[in-house]
Amino acid sequence: MNLKKIISGTLSLLCVSLALGQQYIDPALSGSFGKMLNPSYNALLKGGEGDAALLYRYQWAGVDGAPKSIWFNGNIAVGNRGIALGVNFKQFKIGVERSTEASANFTKTLQISDEEYVGLGVNLGYTQQRGDYSSLDPGDPAFQTVQYGTLLYGLSASLVRPDKYYVGVSMPRSIFGSKESDYVRQFGRDNTFYVSSSVIFDLDNQMYIRPSLLASYRPVTGVQFDGSAMLFFHEKFGIGAGYRQRGDLMGMAEFNLGRLRIAYSYQQNLKNSDLNRYIANSTHELGLSVRFGNQSRSRL
C-alpha cells in the first residue's frame, strides 16, 4: 500500500469515526420540504395535483470523503377520493460507506371541516448499507466490501389546513427483521420518529412569517430539536434563520417562482471546537421542488 492510499484510507476512516452520527442529521430545509420526513403531508394535494422535490446536502466542503446526502420525493393525488401515491429516495455517503433507502408511500386524506384535513400515510421500502473498504487497497484481503440490506416500513399522520398550518407525526423508517438478522445485528433497528409543524402568520397582504419546528427521536441520538423561522415578501422571496440542538446556526433563503420553489441553507456548527480546528465544519443544503396540476403555489 503506497503512501497516498495510506493517507486516503486514514482520512476516510477518520471521517467515519468523526461522523458516526452524521447520517442521523435531518435536512435543515425540512420546513420547506416537509414531505421528505412525513409523506402524509400529501393531504395538501387535491385530485390531479402533484409535486416532486430534490434536496442535496454537503458537509465539510473541501474534505475528501466528506458527508453528502441526497433526498428525492415525488407524489401525485389520484382521483377525487383523497388518495395520493408517492415515491421516496435517500442516499447518504461518507468516505467509503454508503446508506441507501427507497420506498413507495400511500396517503389517504380525510376532510374533517370546511378547511381542515387529516392525512394518514403508510410506506414500504428497502434500505441498504454498503462499505467499499476494498477500494482503500484492492490487494489487501483485510479490506473487503461489505453490504447489508433489509425491508423497512413507515407510518405517518398529519393535520393540515392549506396555506395556514400543518402538524404531523411520522415514523418513516422502521426496520423489518428479527434481532438475529445480519442487518439488525450490525446496525440495530434504527427506527426514526418525527414530530414536525409549520404555521403561517400574516403580517399584512404582502408579508408573512413561517416558523417551523422539527423534533426527532432515534435510540442512538435521543431527542433532538430544530427550530427556524422565515420572513416572506410578496409570497415570492423568504429569508430566515434557525438553530439545531446539536449546535448549528442556520441561515436560509427561499424563492417561489410560480410552480417552482428553490431553497438554500448554510449551517455552521459552533459546539464541536475540536473538529472545527481541523476542517470547515459547515454545511450547505440546496433544495428544488416543482408542482403540477391546479396547485400553482403553496406557502407551506
Q: Which domains does the chain have, with CATH numbers?
A: 3-292 (2.40.160.40)
Q: CA–CA separation, 219 vs 229, rounded Å?
A: 28
Q: Which of 103-112, 267-276, 282-291 is least confident?
A: 267-276
Instruction: Work out the average pLDDT over 97-105.
Output: 94
Nearest alpha carbon to residue 38 among 86, 79, 83, 99: 86
More confident residue, 189 or 158: 158
Tell me the mean pLDDT in the region 66-78. Answer: 95
**How many other CB atoms sit within 10 Å of the CB of residue 242?**
23
Q: How many CA atoms lie within 13 A of 123 on its CB side?
A: 34
Cα 143 versus chain centre, distance: 31
- Assess contact for 143 and 131: CB atoms under 8 A: no
* Residue 42 pLDDT grade (very low, low, confident, very high; cuts 50, 70, 90): very high
Three cell numbers written together for 299: 406557502
Question: Which uninterrupted H or E stretch holds 11?
Answer: helix 3-18
Evaluate whether 211 touches 228 at the Cβ level (below 8 Å). Answer: yes
What would the pLDDT profile of 16-40 be if each residue is shown by its tens digit? 444 444 456 789 999 999 999 999 9
State the pLDDT at residue 77.
Answer: 95
Asked if 84 and 48 count as a contact pair (C-beta separation under 8 A), the reply is: no
Residue 9 burial (CB < 10 Å; 0-12/13-18/19+)? buried
Q: Looking at 24-28, 151-155, 161-165, 235-239, which range is the least confident one?
A: 24-28
On the question of pLDDT at 144 being above 80, the answer is no
Cβ atoms 51, 36 nearer than 8 A: no
**Average pLDDT rounded to a whole number, residues 260-286:** 82
The Cα–Cα gap between 204 and 198 comes to 19
SS3 content of the chain, % helix, strand, coil (to 5): 15, 55, 30
Q: Would you state the pLDDT for residue 80?
A: 87
Binned at pLDDT 50, 70 and 90, residue 8 comes out as very low
Residue 124: the pLDDT is: 98
Beta strands in 176-206 (DSSP E): 192-199, 201-202
Residue 192, all three cell numbers: 426514526
pLDDT for residue 22? 46
CB 252 within 8 A of CB 264: yes
What pTM, to 2 d.p., does this model score? 0.87
